[in-house]
Amino acid sequence: MGLGIDVRNRIARRAAQEIKNGMIVNLGIGIPSLVPNHLSEKLHVMIHAENGVLGIGPSPMKKNEDANLCNAAGYPVTIIKGSSYFDSSIAFGMIRRGYIDITILGSLQVSESGDLANWIVPGKRIPGMGGAMELAQKAKKVIVLMNHLDKSGNSKIVKTCTLPLTSKGCVDLIITDMAVIKVENDGLYLIEVMSPYTTKDVINNTNVELKLSDSISKIY
Amino acid sequence: MVENSFDKIANIDEALSQINDGATIMFGGFGGIGSPPTIIEGMINKNVQNLTLIGNDTGFPNIGIGKLVSRGHASKLIVSHIGSNPVAGQLMTEGKLQIEFSPQGTLAERIRAGGVGLGGVLIDVGIDNDIVSNGKEKIVVDGKEYLLELPLTADVSIVYAKKSDPFGNLIFDKSARNMNPLVAMAGKYTIAEVEEIVPLSELDPEQIITPGIYVDMIVQSKGVNWKWVWE
């Protein structure tokens, strides 16, 4: 069950609100790659890619692609003023050392305690972890963008992940097509609901107890 | 014609004579970008078999090192990711391809460690993860626990660069640099496929990324012969 582009953009737009001036941000593939489209031009943000670029800009116009200038998914990008290139060991040195303010990635499951499972489905798909473990374990803030439900209609937010973990207790914020949920030490807090869903819809479609924050705002 | 002052400039057949069945080959590239197309094509034509390939990922089925993998030339891979090459996953599931996964930054450091003569590196990435930490020695430094990650070297390293001079000093192009400078250091024999060979002293010493000491052979690239995934 894919999400329509409007819904995907709404999730990306909400994620973009987390990004503040001066931040270093790493984006995963899929919905996270739409986030830059929703950043204010006034913000000075350096987008980091683990294939060795700091300062990624918008996608190039057709025919202006440069095969030697791509993001970590292998798709062409441009660079912004002040950008730099480096090799893979430096790209990951930046991550391990904690210089990434926010990493925004997709996930298969997220647990009540913020465990992230996004790298293998045993017996089905074993893509390998790529750079996901470094990013999940070392970024200052980990934001997960995903469908609220999986293809069979099950909640992807679970008490305990049944899929192999990428990293324990690393997720700070979950943004889905239904809700924005904050991971705190004492559990998950529902802070925003995406229209047309209601708080009750979100609770009914989440396999874990959600604590309700004082004022739950609606996203249109 | 650039003077072959160090006898390193060679043709593709001479390069391929260094690459034989059963060899461990380390390659530069990330999603195929920055992988040496002419050498990879040559390896397919030579039909080298039973290779162990070490590098970032398996590209796409018809892009980068993926072309060798999906045609069955490798028996083992040490990589961080195969997600963009479903054929690699299929070969693994069928038991025809053995794959060792390293987290990407750990893989980069293992290659770097091999290239700079270290006995290993201490990294805490994946220490809580049973699959990553399985079988690895744990070492405590200053109260903090790390995995001992072992260095990687190869019989032959193949890299792709933008320019080389006759000594093998290399500069790269944008994100096509990726693993290449690390891979160049970690080969017992390193072959650089380059877009352009320029005379000695034409490259600014301040801008050289890989000093020629690491490069044993230089071949002229015929250019990328695959269609990119976004085309």
ipTM: 0.97
Cβ–Cβ of B105/A134 closer than 8 Å? yes
Are B150 and B161 in contact, with CB atoms under 8 Å apart? no
Q: Is residue B141 part of a domain?
A: no
Q: How far is A179 from chain B (nearest CA, A)?
A: 29
pLDDT on residue A220: 87
**Domain limits for position B115:** 9-120+151-220
Q: How far is A212 from chain B (nearest CA, A)?
A: 31
Q: Which among B130, B132, B173 has CB closest to A68?
A: B173
Residue B107 has pLDDT above 90, yes or no: yes
Does the domain formed by A5-219 have CATH 3.30.430.20? no
Q: How far is A151 from chain B (nearest CA, A)?
A: 20
What mean pLDDT comes out for the span B206-214? 98
What mean pLDDT comes out for the span B1-7? 94
Q: List the structure tokens of A162.
A: 């049944």
3-class secondary structure, B1:
coil
Q: Is residue B80 part of a domain?
A: yes
Residues of B in contact with A137 (CB under 8 A): 124-126
Closest by Cα among A210, A208, A207 to A199: A210
Residues of B in contact with A134 (CB under 8 A): 103-106, 125
Q: Which among B60, B178, B230 has CB closest to A76?
A: B230
Residue B41 has pLDDT above 80, yes or no: yes
Closest by Cα among B112, B162, B154 to B19: B154
Cβ–Cβ of B181/A85 closer than 8 Å? no
Residues of A in contact with B66 (CB under 8 A): none
Judging by DSSP bridges, how do beta strands B144-149 and B9-10 pair with one another? unpaired
What does the domain layout of chain A look like in residue ranges? 5-219
Closest by Cα among A155, A169, A137, A195 to A11: A195
Cβ–Cβ of A74/B129 closer than 8 Å? no
Residues of B in contact with A89 (CB under 8 A): 105, 108-109, 111-112, 182
What mean pLDDT comes out for the span B162-189? 98
| CA–CA separation, B215 and B223 (whole Å) | 20
3-class secondary structure, B157:
strand
pLDDT, tens digit (0-9, with 9 covering 90-100), for B58-76 = 999 999 999 999 999 999 9
| CA–CA separation, B200 and B192 (whole Å) | 16
**Among A18, A41, A50, A112, which one carries the catalytic annotation?**
A50
Closest by Cα among B171, B154, B161, B175 to B110: B154
| CA–CA separation, A136 and A129 (whole Å) | 11
Residue B205 has pLDDT above 60, yes or no: yes
Cβ–Cβ of A131/B103 closer than 8 Å? yes
Element (H, E) at A135: helix A132-138
Q: Which among B56, B177, B224 has CB closest to A67?
A: B224
Chain B residue with minimal CA distance to A71? B175
CATH of the domain at B200: 3.40.1080.10
3-class secondary structure, B80:
coil
Over its length of 220 residues, how does chain A's per-residue pLDDT go in tens digits? 467 779 999 999 999 999 999 999 999 988 998 998 899 989 999 999 999 999 999 889 999 999 999 999 999 999 999 999 999 999 999 999 999 999 999 999 999 999 999 998 888 888 999 999 999 999 999 999 999 999 999 999 999 999 999 999 999 999 999 999 999 999 999 999 999 999 999 999 999 999 998 899 999 8
Are A24 and A53 in contact, with CB atoms under 8 Å apart? no
pLDDT on residue A1: 45
pLDDT on residue A2: 63
Residue with tokens 């465990």: A115
A50: annotated active-site residue: yes
- Residue B15, sorted as left (phi over 0), alpha (psi -120 to 50) or beta, turns out to be alpha
Provide the domain count of chain B.
Answer: 1
Torsion sign, CA atoms A31, A35, A58, A45: negative
pLDDT on residue A58: 87
Residues of A in contact with B185 (CB under 8 A): none
Q: Is residue B98 part of a domain?
A: yes
Backbone angles phi, psi at B12, to 5 degrees: -65, -35
Q: Is residue B138 part of a domain?
A: no
